[in-house]
Amino acid sequence: MSAPGPIRAAVLTVSDRCSRGEAADTSGPGLCELLRAGLGATIVATRCLPDEKDQLSACFVEWSRAGAGIDLILSTGGTGLAPRDVTPEAALAVFERQHAGLMELARLRCMAKTARTFLSRGVAGTIGRTLILTLPGSLRGSTENLEALLDILPHAIETLRGEVKDDGRPDATPSSTPGAKVIRHEA
């Protein structure tokens, strides 16, 4: 077995207007660019869907199936307070495990730029070995939220992939599993 490859990511744009061709999607391409530049990620899928809970949930499940090999799904849009903003509900309906701390961290780190970051109801969680983040719909909001997490996403993905053997216990030893890591934490 060879060393683990780059993060494989997918980006879902959630927008009634973009899905009907009435507006150009800038957030989805912006996130793809940042994923490549900031994480060296490979973008394996992109899609634009309307603000329809069942369609969004189905996409999250489809992209999270084991055979898809997608490590990280980012959605952009549908996290605000508008009546049709249902992306968090679509994600929460299919998450196996919620991870509230990731989006809390993103909002805290973005707070210095704008208090409006707290208007996003974005959520994070996992299905199988796939991490899902629901980001705001604007180019600025989505990229600032992703930038706020770039430093910790690689470790999160490595952990989900099963590449992290230990969380820093002093008696940890590397396993014979190729690509496995022992993470040492500073005191």
Res 164: pLDDT: 84
Extended strands (E) in 2-128 = 8-14, 42-49, 72-76, 97-98, 124-127
Res 80: pLDDT: 97
Residues 6+ apart with CB under 8 A from 126: 95, 96, 97, 99, 132, 160
Q: What is the pLDDT of residues 127-177, one digit of tens each?
A: 999 999 999 999 999 999 999 999 999 999 999 999 987 656 666 555 555
- How far is the C-alpha of 84 from the C-alpha of 17, rounded, in Å? 12
Q: Are 77 and 136 in contact (CB under 8 A)?
A: yes
Class at the top of the CATH hierarchy for domain 8-182? alpha beta
Q: What's the mean pLDDT when you consider all of the chain?
A: 91
